[in-house]
Structure 1
Amino acid sequence: MQPATTINNESALRTVPPAAVGTRRPPSRSRIWVGLGIVGLVAAGTVASFLPRPSPVFPASSGQPHLMLINGAAQADGKHLVAAGELGHLFYSQDVGQPWSPAAVVPQRGSTLTQVFFADPSLGLAVGHDNWILRSEDAGQSWQEAHFDAEAAEALMSVWGTAQGALFATGSFGRFLVSDDRGKTWQPRDTGLGDRHFYGIAGAGQQRLMLVGETGLVARSADGGQSWQRLPDFYNGSFFGLIALSASDWLVYGMRGKVFRSGDFGESWQEVDADTGLSLYGGTRTRDGRVVLVGEGGVVTQSGDGGRTFKRLNDGGAGSLSSVAELADGRLIFTGQSGISVAGAPAESPIP
């Protein structure tokens, strides 16, 4: 265990209007609440808005986006960093987070972006509300629209793939889109998994994939996403994300701090004590093997043994965190209700 890194004050959050996640069937109020809680950390419904929470504590950083919900961030090449958030905003930094500059987005739809992902150092994808998919070929400095469908009133919540293989975008009400041309065009695919919200997708290589979602959904594919098998339920709450630790070892996490680990590509699952009862919304595996999960109220919990045990580093009590990612220099970048923060010293002591 490395020394703890103090997290200091950052910025406040501007309330974001709620948005619909779909119209294909009458959704329940609780289902809508959960769905948009992850997409933009929003309580959904016709009159819902953000829950009141104090701002989290982060170190000040010159040039960061302020007063803005940031849902995700990703490292492009060795120095370029990209963040995505509300109202279709994308920001990039050429010096690992200092300063931030607005990225060019064409056309600018104004729909909230939920995740950003790089398939290689140059090829980036950002997904969000209204089935919006943006694509970048210059490490995130400029973005062009690849897909948009406002009439469907669906939100894409996750994107994953490989630069030389298929790319996948998943979202509300079973939305599953596939691209075979490096993200230039996208086609829907029927997974056979029904219309549950798909909150996360990840893979280990081009063949083994898993996705997680609403009401305990966990499914796997052994043929590169061509076909999917829903695994037997082992938890009735929603899973908001997953991490492929290896081709065999997988971690899923979600509501009420629930974490489960599999060492056999989902044949069996063991519950892991995450050292928190707060919902977990995002996670990453660092290059030195640590697993870091973040979520409700700013909670941060970490594993140093491949997700078998966790120790809580932050008790929460602040704005919720939606994602965490490792930078090229070993520090961690956090995103959420209060924007962006970078914590830890380069290489030697990222947040433990």
Structure 2
Amino acid sequence: MTLQRKLSIALLGLLVVGSVGGFTHGRPSWQLTDTGTPTVRFRGLAPVSDRVAWAAGTAGTILRTTDGGRDWQSVGPADAAALQFRDIEAFDARSAVALTIGNGTDSRLYATADGGKSWTETFRNEDPNAFYDCVTFLDRRHGLALSDPVDGKFRILATSDGGRSWAVRSPEGMPAALDGEFAFAASGTCLVSAGGRAWFATGGGSAARVFSSADGGRSWSVTATPVPSGPSAGIYSLAFRDREHGLAVGGDYAVPAAAPDGAAYLRGRTWTVARTVPGEYRSGSAWIGDGPAALAVGPTGSDLSLDGGKTWTRFDTGSFDAVLCAGDGACWASGEQGRVATLRWH
């Protein structure tokens, strides 16, 4: 048995006996930071390191910290106060791309290269039938944004210049959407990427599905999952370490305290329900480092898995919408009432 699996169950979480890629001995807990924004809900989150992170939310708010959350600067675009940011992707302390959501022109993309001192609106949706949910970058130059179905198919927006310009991909390579199928703009992780590949998750229809592309979003394959789907239910968040290690979490936003079969993991090409699920609605998920440890968060609590998503254990009951971990292993979470936190081990 490796050190990654030598553990014992503690009353309030998991006691790790050994070092697990990106974190140290102990039991996890969230350490809240003071963002000074108690009325803002941060569903967009982009940690760069243990010191640098961006958070994006309601009322056009974007915050940035460069000292691990001790101080936050409000750096959102001046013309976005009436918009809701739901996703943000950051390359470093200076460069980021942020997405606002809504029908028609409320769906926009902004880019900054000077730490938020100035922003350029790089895309404004003019199609009243489109609604953009999430954005991801395959590398520093190539990115994708996802809209709910238009004319029966999910729509993909693409950039090849780091988000400075965007173009709609041809729908020819996209499978047809199910009746009522859509994506959830809950945490900026309905569309994700790893190793040059992209995935997005759905709900709303007769099945919760995962779409996958290996060619920059030009063509997609789709796989059904055992996660329950319905008018407000399905997969809310994906996390991929590589093409063979994926997590899916969700449930029903309208019934947050009950989510049977609400978490699954990828085994080969098949999605399998976790043996022990969080049991409640979860809107965000993330891998910790390059090992089997992962996090899931939602409005009723946070959970930890040490076996690649096969089993989950609750360690916190606070409300969060989004969770992501940086390349150095630092993990951040964000949510309602201006809540942004960093993960600590005790």
2:107 to 128, 131, 135: 131
Match of 1:158 in 2: 134
**Aligned equivalents of 1:107 and 1:66: distance in 2?**
21
Specify the alignment match of 1:338 in structure 2.
Answer: 337
Give the TM-score, by structure 2 length: 0.74
Correspondent of 1:79 among 19, 32, 51 = 51
Shift of 1:332: 3.2
Asked if residue 96 in structure 1 is aligned to residue 76 in structure 2, the reply is no
Residue in 1 that maps onto 2:254: none
> For residues 259 and 303 of structure 1, do their structure 2 counterparts lie closer, same or farther at Cα, with a shift above 3 Å needed?
same
What's 1:248 paired with?
244
Please report how far the alpha carbon of residue 163 of structure 1 lies from its aligned counterpart in structure 2 after TM superposition.
Answer: 3.5
Task: Provide the rounded CA distance (Å) in 2 between the counterparts of 1:329 and 1:119.
Answer: 14
Distance 1:66 1:342, change over 3 A: same
Deviation at 1:183, TM superposition (A): 0.8
Deviation at 1:326, TM superposition (A): 3.0
Query: CA-to-partner distance for each residue in 1:93-116, whole Å, 9 max, x for gaps?
Result: 121212111104153252101011
Distance (Å, rounded) in 1 between the aligned partners of 2:332 and 2:82: 24
Q: Determine if contact 1:154/1:171 at 8 Å carries over to the other structure.
A: yes
Aligned length: 289
User: What CA distance in whole angstroms lies between the structure 2 residues aligned with 1:213 and 1:80?
Assistant: 31
Q: Residue 295 of structure 1: CA displacement?
A: 1.0
| Amino acid corresponding to residue 291 of structure 1 in structure 2 | A
Task: Tell me by how many angstroms 1:142 deviates.
Answer: 3.9
Report what 2:323 is aligned to.
324
- The structural deviation recorded for 1:168 is 0.7
Aligned-partner residue type, residue 124 of structure 1:
A
1:154/1:128 Cα in 2 relative to 1: closer, same or farther (>3 Å)?
A: farther
Partner of 1:210: 199
Partner of 1:111: 83
Offset from partner CA, 1:38-80 (integer Å, 9 cap, x none): xxxxxxxxxxxxxxxxxxxx64x34442221111221236633
Per-residue deviation, residues 271-327 of structure 1 (Å, max 9, x unmatched):
103442211100111126320000132x1111112222221113x4x5x42101235
Alignment match of 1:227 (pick from 219, 224, 228): 219
The superposition leaves residues 194-233 of structure 1 with CA deviations (integer Å, 9 ceiling, x where unpaired) of 3732331122222x22210123021112323210112145
CA-atom RMSD in angstroms: 2.7
Percent identity over paired residues: 20
The alpha-carbon distance between structure 1 residues 295 and 284, as it changes in their structure 2 partners (threshold 3 A), is same
Q: Cα–Cα, structure 1 residues 78 and 251, in superposed 2: closer, same or farther, change >3 Å? A: closer
Q: C-alpha displacement at 1:336, in angstroms? A: 1.2
- Output the CA distance in 2 between the equivalents of 1:205 and 1:6: 30
Match of 1:188 in 2: 168
Which one has the bigger helix percentage?
1
Unaligned segments of structure 2, at least 5 residues: 1-15, 17-24, 185-189, 252-258
- Give the match for residue 19 of structure 1: none
Offset of residue 236 of structure 1? 3.9
User: Which residue of structure 2 lines up, in the alignment, with residue 280 of structure 1?
Assistant: 282
**Distance change in 2, residues 1:308/1:276 (3 Å):** closer
Give 5+ residue unaligned stretches, structure 1. 8-57
Asked if 1:294 is matched to 2:286, the reply is no
Task: Report if the CA contact (8 A) 2:195-2:242 is conserved.
Answer: no
Aligned-pair CA distance for 1:91: 0.9
Structure 2 letter corresponding to 1:79: R
Tell me: higher relative CO, structure 1 or 2? Use CA pairs within 8 A at least 6 residues apart.
Answer: 2
Change (3 A) 1:78 1:115: same
8 A contact 2:29–2:315 mirrored in 1: no
1:198 to 170, 176, 183: 183
1: distance between equivalents of 2:175 and 2:244?
23
Match of 1:309, SS state, is coil
CA-CA distance at 1:344 after TM superposition: 3.9
Matched, 1:4 2:7: no
Counterpart AA for 1:245: R
Question: Could you tell me how far apart the structure 2 residues matched to 1:166 and 1:327 are?
Answer: 19
More displaced 10-residue stretch of structure 1: 85-94 or 121-130: 121-130
Aligned to 1:260: 264
